[in-house]
Amino acid sequence: MRIIELYEIKSLLTGLDLIPAIEQGFAAYSAGRTNVPPVGELQLEKGEVHIKYGAIDSQPFYVIKIASGFYGNAELGLPTGDGCMLVFRQETGLLECILLDEGHLTDERTALAGAIAAKHLAPSNVSRIGIVGTGVQARAQLSHLASVIDCRDVLVWGRSQQKVDAYVDHFASDPHSKFRIETTLDTTDIQRQCNLIVTTTPATRPLLSIAHLQPGTHITAVGSDTPEKQELESAILAEADVVVADSISQCKLRGEIAQALRRGDVQSNDVLELGNIISGAVSGRTSDEQTTVADLTGVAVQDIQIASAVVTAATNRLPG
């Protein structure tokens, strides 16, 4: 059994093309070729802990992932997320590896899912990218969009000028970044100017409303991953031409779709599943005039695929 720490995990991720692997995971999930139980969850006084686990048929590993979010940690100078992944052999049940990723793999696989959603659902001509939020996930989402979207004009929203300035500084310090980033403290600017929007906050009240949304926009909502969180006014989903869940069963209980279902603004049989769009079993966006929403609450197949890729890369790197 091997223990791999964060510094090595980051090194192993370099050069890996993970989008195809995670697409395959979503497709297997929607085709019923996985064993993914419901999410385990702890709601604590100052944070939340998610436990996601599962297996994909005919793959060597099953994975148990623990990830936390303690959003008050920023005021203490501590990271808001932490976690680890346990990788076991499906054939024997023996523990193959512990990935002490400190939540990094969760951040990466979530951002990769956002890129996948944009790849399959964004309009063909993205005029401007809107990012709602300024944290780790807001940065990771934009970074991974670069691999699937040509647009480099970005408008980012944050709750303070200090936060949006720090966001801009992060990308300005990267010599490989080609993004041209402007900032706003008004989310209506995002809706009026951007036709690809990614929301990344732990908000419990909507930040985006139907009143200011451009027709033809695609929204990827990744922040709302519990029953209480909500970033989008439910009317946005009601008016959207295409509503997509990473997991329909999971999104009935948590996220934007769950909020809209409780209000009667959408019906579960109107929701498509991302894996079926990836596989071609159903159509997603069919014209640039359509408004589309992807609700990503995080599915264990993402953890399985990224953890398996890291363990395989580590094994291949061993001498001899």
The verdict on 98 and 125 lying in the same domain is: no
Over residues 228-258, the pLDDT tens digits come to: 999 999 999 999 999 999 999 999 999 999 9
Most distant CA pair in the chain, distance: 61
- Say how many C-beta atoms besides its own lie within 10 A of residue 128's C-beta: 17
181: left (phi over 0), alpha (psi -120 to 50) or beta: beta
The verdict on 310 and 257 lying in the same domain is: no
**CA nearest to 126, candidates 177, 209, 197:** 197
Mean pLDDT of 280-291: 97
The verdict on 154 and 272 lying in the same domain is: yes
| Domain at 263, CATH number | 3.40.50.720
Backbone φ and ψ of 239, nearest 5°: -90, -15
The verdict on 217 and 90 lying in the same domain is: no
pLDDT band at 176 (very low <50, low <70, confident <90, very high): confident
Q: What is the pLDDT of residue 15?
A: 84
The verdict on 193 and 152 lying in the same domain is: yes
pLDDT band at 182 (very low <50, low <70, confident <90, very high): very high
Over residues 62-118, the pLDDT tens digits come to: 999 999 999 899 889 999 889 999 999 999 999 999 999 999 999 999 999 999 999
| Domain at 65, CATH number | 3.30.1780.10
Q: What is the pLDDT of residue 177?
A: 87
Over residues 21-60, the pLDDT tens digits come to: 999 999 999 999 999 999 999 999 999 999 999 999 999 9
Q: Which domain holds residue 67?
A: 2-105+301-317
Residue 29, CB half-sphere, CA atoms under 13 Å: how many? 30
Cα 95 to its chain centre, rounded Å, is: 27
Mean pLDDT of 196-221: 96
Residue 320: pLDDT above 60? no
Q: What is the pLDDT of residue 317?
A: 81
pLDDT band at 319 (very low <50, low <70, confident <90, very high): low
The verdict on 186 and 287 lying in the same domain is: yes
pTM: 0.94
Residue 318: pLDDT above 80? no
**Residues near 297 by Cβ (< 8 Å), separated by ≥ 6?**
224, 225, 245, 246, 247, 250, 251, 254, 255
Q: What is the pLDDT of residue 198?
A: 98
The verdict on 31 and 143 lying in the same domain is: no
Mean pLDDT of 261-278: 96
The verdict on 292 and 306 lying in the same domain is: no
The verdict on 201 and 256 lying in the same domain is: yes
The verdict on 98 and 124 lying in the same domain is: no
Mean pLDDT of 176-204: 96
The verdict on 290 and 306 lying in the same domain is: no
The verdict on 141 and 70 lying in the same domain is: no
Collapsing DSSP states into helix, strand and coil, what is residue 37?
coil
Q: What is the pLDDT of residue 83?
A: 95
**Residues near 55 by Cβ (< 8 Å), separated by ≥ 6?**
34, 35, 36, 61, 62, 63, 90, 304
| Number of domains the chain contains | 2
Q: What is the pLDDT of residue 262?
A: 96
d(CA 184, CA 188): 9
DSSP output for 52-75: EEEEETT-SEEEEEEEEE-GGGGG
pLDDT band at 203 (very low <50, low <70, confident <90, very high): very high
What does the block give as tokens for 157?
């929203």
